[in-house]
Structure formats: C-alpha cells, structure tokens
Amino acid sequence: MTASPITEAAARPLTALSEEERLFQTTVRRFAREQIAPHVREMDEAGVFRKDIIRQFFELGLMGIEIPEEHGGQGGSFFQCVLAVEELSAVDPSAGVIVDVQNTIVNNAILRWANEEQKRRYLPKMAGGTVGAYALSEAGSGSDAFALSTRAVEQDDGFLITGRKLWISNAAEAGVFILFANVNPDAGYRGITAFLIERDFAGFQVGKKEDKLGMRASSTCELILDNCRVPKSNVLGDVGKGYKIAIETLNEGRIAIGAQMLGLAKGAFGHAVAYAKERKQFGQPISNFQGVQFQLAEMATQIEAARLLVYNGARLRDAGMPFVTEAAMAKYYSSEIAEKVASRAIEIHGGVGVTRDYPVEKLYRDAKIGRIYEGTSNIQLVTIAKGILGK
C-alpha cells in the first residue's frame, strides 16, 4: 500500500512567518513530496541516498541557504535552514540530515570561523555541488567530546594528522570535512584544532559505512587518517581554538536537530490522521472513536509545542540573542516527542503499522537517533539546568 499523504493540518505552522518564509517553506514541502517521497522506501532499504536528489538540493539552493550571494549561495537566514530541514524530514528524515549538516554545521562553521581566503576557496564549493561533513566524534569521544585522541603534529608548512573518526554523517558523499584533532594533548582541550580537509588529501580515507537502525539513507561512516598532510592554510580559526568552534557550532546545530525531529513527528502524525479517517471498525472510521481522538489531540499538542521551541531558538539565533538554553530545550523536547508520536502513530495503524507497507514503521526507526546524536537527552538536560541556574 502506498504511503498516506501528510495532511495540511499537520504541516500548518502556528507561529508567524513572513511571506518570503512561507513561500520558501511551501516550495521545499512541494519538492519533498513530489521528488523525494516516491523514493523513500527504496533508499531506506538500499541504505543509499540518491545522487540525483542531492544534485537537486544544490540546484534549489538548499545546500547553501546562508551562504552570501557573492559566494554562490542564497543569502538566506538560519530560520530558513530550519524550515527546510523540517519540511524535508516530514517526508524523509535522511534528507533532513543531509541538508542540516551542510547548512547548520559545515557552512555555518566556515561562515563564522574561516578567514577571507578560505571563504573564497570553500563557500562556492559548498553552495555549488560539494557535500560537507563534520568530524568530531571518536570511539572514546562521544558525550565527552573533547576526549578525542586524533593527533595533529606540526611539520614544515603543515600538519600530519593521525587518528580515526566514527559516526560521521554525510561522510560517504562529502568532499570537504571539518575535522578536529589535538595539536598538544598535554594542554587538554586547549590543544584541539579544527581543520578543513578535502577528500583527496593524501593519507585521508573514508572507511566503513554503518548499517543502522534508522536514517539508513543518510550515510554514517568512519574516517581514517594515516599521516594525512594538511597545509597550515587549512586550519579553521586559530590553532588550539577548535573546542570553541565545536561548542558554538553544535549549539546552533541542535536547533536544526530539533527541526529534524519536529518534521519527523509532523510526518508521522499526518499519516496517523489520514489512516484514522480511512480505517473502519464497527462500521465507522476509527477517527470517530474518542480514544483515538484523544491520542491525536495529544500528538498535535506535542508537535505544536515542539515547533514553538524550535522556531523560538532559530529566531533568537538570527536576532543575535542568547539561545543556548533554548536550543537545548528545542533539541531535547523535539527528540523526545518524535519518538512518542511515531510510536503512537504505529499504534493507531494497528498491525499494519509494524509492516514496511506503511511509512510509520520507518519513521519510528528514524526517531531513535534524535535522543542520541549532537548531544544526548541527558546532555541537553545538563545544559538546560546550567542555563536556568546561571552556572
């Protein structure tokens, strides 16, 4: 059976959008439904995202939303990035990941921390056809992000980097990587430095692709660095300041993870509403039963609360106001309700909900990672607590 359409009610934002933002949102939504939706199941089963769709992301400007027009981008806002991630994730969260990492992590870091020469060299690539990836995590460095063991040794006019990165999103497709290594382990986190690494650098290799529970079409790979030579001109920001780049970039990226999970929940809810209206028991649609209505009402309320948290975080960021606590709230709450809404959507579908003939099974699998990556739910609670206690 084909997937149920996402209802307009599920897609309707209740926070004020400008006409430009609404047009942008509508365009991305239409693209996702028309161009991505027919291929979602195929990509999930293959564990590979279609290259032609990624090419369309670039053609539509979705991979360079905040990049200035003089560098080939759209000159848009962070809020528009969030809208794009939300709408794509409502159809396929794997699509949301690709656009999210590109815009709110990689492009964002280059825009904020690169020098002018690096911007001229890399921003046109990121807007014009090169996928980016962000390489921080390692086997022993997850929530303790700065326990990384990848080492960069200064030599002549560059650095030799040796180590192994794990769980790197977009790695299979990426041509540019923002990678973190320690140039002075004795200094602890103050030795961590960010580097711009290109895929064809000697000593750099993309390794095994993970076989995952969900988000299967979004590539997650290991990176292997064996005396990878990186010129000094490819240091992003200052030597020893990589920890600051990582923290501040991830703080912003968490708002977009919230958008991913918001979109996922919105998609699952839309399928649940559509199915409840068409599925009949005891001679009438199950949407007529108060028990089902209560479930849908609770789901809708949770989605609206998540949307307001995500949009608020994005608006604060664009306004240049403090947003770290609000970003953590958005990421925490959206990832929690995405799993709950997807689970409830399966229950409303009944037995068919656990089969691959219906899309809610996939969305439930996709939801699990939301509480883990870019800071677990516990890490978000720590951040929120520090914010409200002024620590």
Beta-strand pair 174-182/192-198: antiparallel
Q: Could you tell me the pLDDT band of residue 285, with boundaries at 50, 70 and 90?
A: very high
Q: Is residue 226 located within the same domain as residue 113?
A: no
Q: Is residue 254 located within the same domain as residue 376?
A: yes
- Whole domain around residue 150: which residue ranges? 133-241
Spatial distance between the Cα atoms of 242 and 109, rounded to a whole number of angstroms: 11
What CATH number does residue 48 fall under? 1.10.540.10
3 within domain boundaries: no
Q: Is residue 14 located within the same domain as residue 86?
A: yes
Q: Is residue 290 located within the same domain as residue 369?
A: yes
Q: Is residue 349 located within the same domain as residue 321?
A: yes
Q: Is residue 51 located within the same domain as residue 65?
A: yes
71 within domain boundaries: yes
Q: Is residue 154 located within the same domain as residue 28?
A: no
Domain-ending residue, one of 131, 152, 180:
131
2 within domain boundaries: no
Domain-ending residue, one of 131, 157, 188:
131
Average pLDDT for 77-86: 98
Q: Is residue 182 located within the same domain as residue 210?
A: yes
Mean pLDDT of the residues in the chain = 95
257 within domain boundaries: yes
pLDDT digits (tens, 9 = 90+) for 182-220: 999 999 999 999 999 999 999 999 999 999 999 999 999
Q: Is residue 265 located within the same domain as residue 306?
A: yes
Three-state secondary structure call for residue 104: helix
Spatial distance between the Cα atoms of 37 and 239, rounded to a whole number of angstroms: 44
Residue 177 has phi, psi (to 5 degrees) of -125, 130
Q: Is residue 157 located within the same domain as residue 49?
A: no
- CA-angle at 223, arms to 218 and 229, nearest 5°: 135
What CATH number does residue 147 fall under? 2.40.110.10
Tokens, residue 216: 């299967």
Q: Which residues are known catalytic residues?
A: 374
Spatial distance between the Cα atoms of 108 and 58, rounded to a whole number of angstroms: 16
What CATH number does residue 307 fall under? 1.20.140.10
pLDDT digits (tens, 9 = 90+) for 155-186: 988 999 999 999 999 999 999 999 999 999 99
Q: Is residue 201 located within the same domain as residue 249?
A: no
1 within domain boundaries: no
Split into its structural domains, the chain has a count of 3
pLDDT digits (tens, 9 = 90+) for 216-228: 999 999 999 999 9
Compare 300 and 1 and report the one with higher pLDDT.
300
Q: Is residue 114 located within the same domain as residue 37?
A: yes
Q: Could you tell me the pLDDT band of residue 275, with boundaries at 50, 70 and 90?
A: very high
Q: Could you tell me the pLDDT band of residue 3, with boundaries at 50, 70 and 90?
A: very low
CA atoms within 13 A on the CB side of 354: 3
Domain-ending residue, one of 112, 131, 150:
131
pLDDT computed for residue 15 by the predictor: 58
280 within domain boundaries: yes
Cβ neighbours of 200 (radius 10 Å)? 7
